Amino acid sequence: MREEPKFAIIGAGMSGILAAIRLQEAGIDFTVFEKADRVGGTWRENTYPGIACDVPSHIYSYSFELNPDWSHFCSPGAEIQQYFEDIVDRRGIDAYIRFGAAVTSARWNGEAWEVTAADGYSDTFDWVIAATGILHHPKLPDIEGLDSFEGHMWHSARWNHDIDLSDKRVGVIGTGSTGTQITGTLAGTVAHYSLFQRTAQWVVPVEQIEYTEEERENFRTNGEELRNLHETLSKQFNDGFATSILDKDSGISDSIEENCRNYLETNVTDPELREKLRPTYRAACKRLVVSHNFYDAVQRERTEVVTEPIERIEPSGVRTADGRLHELDVLVLATGFQVDRFMRPMEISGVDGVLLDDVWSERPSAYLALGVHGFPNFFMLNGPNSPVGNFSLIQTAELQFEYIMQLVELWRAGQIDFAHPSEAAAQAFEAERVEAAKGTVWATGCSSWYLDDRGIPFTWPFAFSRFRDEMAEPKLGDYETV
Ligand code: NAP
């Protein structure tokens, strides 16, 4: 056996906390680098009104930290943030986290990784886990005059809670999962609400189920029931719903579309508004929006859905192509994220000083969504090509971490010196992935953040069972290990 490894984890969001817990349990030395002053990642940064996770809470939980106290089937963001903070507290993970330490570079020196942070701290590590998230870098819309707006303006992931909105004219650009959740809560509560919709969304109706105190007490006292619920929901969600909608020919997306269409027909009374909200592409081509209140919200008082294209932003509001000026006090940009950034702008250099930025100059990709040729002992959780879509990212990260630990165990036993995917294996995986991606529902003719610069979905295109099988055991033949 060689000496114990030393790990750097980049990011203290859901995936980074998971890695920290698992390493702590394994008695392995690690440091978590976190640029902010709190844990939580996406749940720390996204605090917009109406934020919730539309993946059921009992599977948006670590399998080893099931939570009997979830308030709802799909719980609000603040409660999810609290869940992560409580776990970090209870397990003493704080002690391993360097807050305010944004990693600026990670360099492979031939034997180990030299990791440097903006706070000046630098150290050497045997393994690096990048847990920096996908939906992390806000994307601002490329609209003329954006900077000229004289009211308050912010991106949905940078909500300004200092402004009382009740007497304001609020405009929101974007109708993705974020824009629709904001609308569900905010429309009707402000002086005037304008939702600027470029593309209509298919909306899956999901009842907002609140767990009763009796049900929660039952989960508290009956751990087996809680575990069964986690398992059943995981199967239904990942192997059932999220997997079956991938295949454009499965017929499931047709039945989801019918469900969404019925919801639209029966819940939106004004025919003109109904037509504005009717999508013209296949359901699930964009990420499905799940909502219990969006259609209700757009029919509230003092609320308008604007479908005229935006021509430009002016100091006092949004000018649409019909010449109308929509005067606003507040403009919210629910315009999504730069999903090809991942760890960037960190400078990550691998074997022979090769920069990850250069390897990814066209677009990011990763062998099995985890590793990159030329970057030994460097692995990502929820990295490029990971199952996103409507899958539970927690389960994905758990499986990815168990896989990485199998390589670490070989390293600890002295059987390998390092591990990174061979170029041939990485290329073969990517070629197969791209072919499969072309046959998914995401490639049926809509635009979405799933598509890369070529218009090919960059996400995991296979069934979740394939992901689980791949993660069960590393194929050492696909790796360079000495
Ligand atoms: P998004 O899905 O990328 O949506 C961005 C929205 O902004 C789209 O409606 C887009 O219109 C619009 N937009 C962008 N640029 C525009 C422009 N120049 N002019 C007009 N409209 C513009 O971003 P998101 O809503 O933040 O969601 C991102 C992902 O985060 C989701 O798909 C989901 O995976 C995750 N999320 C999850 C939850 C949850 O409950 N689990 C909640 C929120 C977010 P087009 O459609 O026309 O491009």
Of 482, 340, 479, which Cα lies nearest the Cα of 403? 479
Atom 14, ligand 1: residue with shortest CA distance: 335
Residue 353 CA to residue 312 CA, distance in Å, equals 44
179 Cβ closer than 6 Å to some ligand 1 atom: yes
pLDDT > 90? residue 472: yes
Mean pLDDT of 381-393: 88
Give the integer Cα–Cα distance in Å for 381 and 32.
Answer: 14
- Which residue's CA is the closest to the ligand 1 atom numbered 32? 287
CA distance 299 to 371: 47
| Per-position DSSP letters for 391-434, written without gaps between them | S-HHHHHHHHHHHHHHHHHHHHTTS-S--EE-HHHHHHHHHHHH
pLDDT of residue 418: 96
Tell which residue, 113, 114, 116, 82, has the closest CA to residue 98: 116
Helix, strand, coil abundance in the chain, percent, nearest 5: 35, 20, 45
Above pLDDT 70, what percent of the chain? 100
Confidence band for 238, pLDDT divided at 50, 70 and 90? confident
Question: Could you give the CA distance from residue 122 to residue 118 in angstroms, rounded to a whole number?
Answer: 9
pLDDT at 253 over 90: no
Rounded Cα gap, residues 216 and 210, in angstroms: 10
CA distance 402 to 218: 31
- Mean pLDDT over 92-119 rounds to 97
Query: How is domain 6-137+338-480 classified at the architecture level of CATH?
Result: 3-Layer(bba) Sandwich (3.50)
Q: Could you tell me whether strands 192-196 and 303-306 are parallel, antiparallel, or unpaired per DSSP bridges? A: parallel
Ligand 1 near 321 CB (within 6 A): no
Atom of ligand 1 at shortest distance to CA of 173?
Answer: 21
pTM of the full structure: 0.96
Render the burial of 227-254: b for 16+ CB within 10 Å, e for the rest: eebbeebbeebbeebbbbbbbbeeebbe
Name residues whose C-beta falls within 8 Å of residue 74's C-beta, 6 or more positions apart in sequence: 52, 53, 54, 55, 56, 57, 206, 208, 290
Which has the minimum average pLDDT: 224-233, 277-286, 387-396?
Answer: 387-396
C-alpha 182/C-alpha 199 separation (Å) is 16
Query: Does residue 17 register a pLDDT over 80?
Result: yes
Q: Average pLDDT for residues 391-412, to the nearest whole number?
A: 95
Distance CA 55, CA 80 (A): 12
Cα-to-centroid distance, 448 and ligand 1 (Å): 8
Burial of 139 (0-12, 13-18, 19+ CB in 10 A): middle
Residue nearest atom 17 in ligand 1 by C-alpha distance: 141
Q: Confirm whether 6-137+338-480 and 146-202+246-333 share one CATH topology.
A: yes
CA of 35 from ligand 1 middle (Å) equals 25
C-alpha 282/C-alpha 223 separation (Å) is 40
CA-angle at 404, arms to 403 and 405, nearest 5°? 90
With 70 as the cut, is the pLDDT of residue 1 above it? no
Least confident residue range of 232-246, 270-284, 443-457: 232-246
| Mean pLDDT to the nearest integer, 135-146 | 97
Q: Is the CB of 447 under 6 A from ligand 1?
A: yes
Can you give the residue ranges of every domain in the chain? Answer: 6-137+338-480, 146-202+246-333
289 and 200 in contact (C-beta within 8 Å)? no
Measured CA distances, 475 to 248, 317, 350, 469 (Å): 30, 56, 22, 11
Tell me which CATH code domain 146-202+246-333 carries. 3.50.50.60
Q: Residue 240: what pLDDT?
A: 83
- Check if the beta carbon of residue 423 is closer than 8 Å to that of residue 371: no
pLDDT higher than 70, residue 94: yes
Ligand 1 contacts CB of residue 175 (under 6 A):
yes
Alpha carbons 155 and 172: distance in angstroms, whole number: 10
pLDDT level of residue 186 (50, 70, 90 thresholds): very high
Largest CA distance in the chain: 73
Q: Per-residue confidence at 317, pLDDT binned at 50, 70, 90?
A: very high
**Ligand 1 centroid to residue 50 C-alpha, Å:** 15
Q: Is the distance from CB of 37 to CB of 61 less than 8 angstroms?
A: no
According to the model, what pLDDT value does residue 251 have? 80
Q: What percent of the chain has pLDDT over 90?
A: 91
**Residue 121 burial class via C-beta count within 10 angstroms: exposed 0-12, middle 13-18, buried 19 and up:** middle
* 364 touches 435 (CB < 8 A): no
Determine how β-strand 97-99 pairs with β-strand 29-34: parallel
Question: Which three-class secondary structure state does DSSP give residue 390?
Answer: coil
pLDDT at residue 411 in the model: 96
198 lines ligand 1 (CB under 6 A): yes
* Two tokens, residue 89: 């507290």
Average pLDDT over residues 380-405: 92
Name every residue whose Cβ is closer than 8 Å to that of residue 377 and which is 6 or more positions away in sequence. Answer: 113, 126, 127, 128, 411, 418, 419, 420
* Amino acid in position 482: V
The amino acid present at 441, given as its one-letter code, is V
Mean pLDDT of the chain: 96
Q: 9: which strand partners? A: 32, 129
